[in-house]
Amino acid sequence: MIDFSAPADVVAPQLLGATIHIHGVGVRLTEVEAYLGSEDEAAHTYRGQTPRNAAMFGPPGRLYVYLSYGIHRAGNLVCAPVGTGQGCLLRAGEVTSGVSLAQERRGEVPFHRLAQGPGNLGRALGLNLSDNGAQPEITESPEEVEWVRGPRIGITKNTDAPLRFWIPGHATVSGRRHRPPA
């Protein structure tokens, strides 16, 4: 059972293989990154609570949805006790239900790229800013999933922290798929 009240780096590998269902689309998570609040310079919550990141300080298991680069809606699942500001960024996954809807949202891309990368995953799921703080439906993986961890990607602070978790060799995993794990 996924224990969202645990720290994000404990929750992250538990999310791999789980399926998140939002707005008619299900995505089996294949890659996530943990962000550890005030202990983590790369976290949106490093400097404390703001109106923008308030959902990250709320109940565990809820969504934190934000606008990335002014165009992409990315999502995190809040972790750790209320007030902690930790979460797991949803980086990549495999669309398992609502495929035609995900394709409509994403356009003409290969199947394995429908939810590859945080912005693309958010678009496939139809995330919008009004989903911030919502409780998504999550179906846990029926089997144990092999995973590896290594440095996060696409950030400029705390880059060496081994807080990126992924299913090795899975086609949906975003960049640096073959980088040796930490």
Q: What's the predicted TM-score (pTM) here?
A: 0.92
- Backbone phi and psi for residue 30, each to the nearest 5 degrees, phi listed first: -120, -10
- What are the tokens at 93? 């996954």
Biggest CA–CA distance in the chain, Å, is 41
As beta bridge partners, residue 155 has: none
pLDDT along the chain (182 residues), means of 10: 96 98 98 92 86 93 85 91 96 97 95 95 96 96 94 79 94 68 44
**Domain 8-166 top-level CATH class:** alpha beta
